Amino acid sequence: MKPIYLVIQEGVVADMASVALDGINAVVREAQANVQVKNFGVWRHKDWIDMNTGALLPYMSVDWYVEQGRKASRNKRQLYINPISYALISEPWQKAQPHWDVTVMKDDLYDDGCNFIIGGAIPYHNFVISTYRFRDLDEFWRRECFKTSVMHELGHVFGLPNDRQDGTIEQSLGGHCTNRCIMRQGLVVPRDWLVLTRDRLEHGSFCSTCLSELHQFFQS
């Protein structure tokens, strides 16, 4: 079973890094899967900088991945998620040890067609997520909404929602479940994420259909 690698951008506050780990572990428990989660924190290889030029060496630190999103960004206040996500797919570490990647950013993210996004997943590969849009919530809801978002994106990595014919999928910036479930789409931040999070806390994380699909993912 492939492990999950968690890496965080420097500056992500410690409690939010902990929340990300809690969210990952919560999904693994729901999946009843034997998946190891490795927390690399602010990861930097010992040879992460070119000592002659000071340049960041490719794939050798979380800083280099952040740099890819910054260089391609239309403005320097946000990171463009695509270069980061696809660099994670092509990284040499995937050959040495196939794994799923989770990267937590403090900086705001955006994607094509969106002014901002909380996070984005490439199914079966990785997701990149930001704490930025929850920063103004009080401590409890900041943590819980971010946990919901982490669980939501990891659900996408594990193929949720799968193709189904019962009318419970909508295409809204990708496929999303329409049941009372953390795999619903949230478009208005933080309002929709507060609703998703209250539902998660009161009724559980995944609807029965998504939970069944999650179990099937790890049994296939």
CATH assignment at residue 123: 3.40.390.10
Between residues 163 and 45, the one the model is more confident about: 45
**Residue pLDDT, tens place only, 31-84:** 999 999 999 999 999 999 999 999 999 999 999 999 999 999 999 899 999 999
pLDDT given for residue 165 in this prediction: 84
φ/ψ of 57, rounded to 5, equals -85, 140
pLDDT given for residue 220 in this prediction: 76
**Residue pLDDT, tens place only, 165-209:** 888 999 999 999 999 999 999 999 999 999 999 999 999 999 999
The pTM assigned to this predicted structure is 0.97
Residue 207 included in any domain: no
Mean pLDDT, rounded, for 89-107: 96
Residue 115 included in any domain: yes
Residue 215 included in any domain: no
Q: Give me the domain span that covers residue 29.
A: 4-161
Q: Residue written as tokens 């693994």?
A: 28
Residue 183 included in any domain: no
pLDDT given for residue 2 in this prediction: 96
How high does pLDDT run on average in the chain?
96
pLDDT given for residue 189 in this prediction: 95
Tally of domains within the chain: 1
Residue 199 included in any domain: no
pLDDT band at residue 100 using 50, 70 and 90 as cut-offs: very high
pLDDT given for residue 52 in this prediction: 96
**pLDDT of 164 above 90:** no
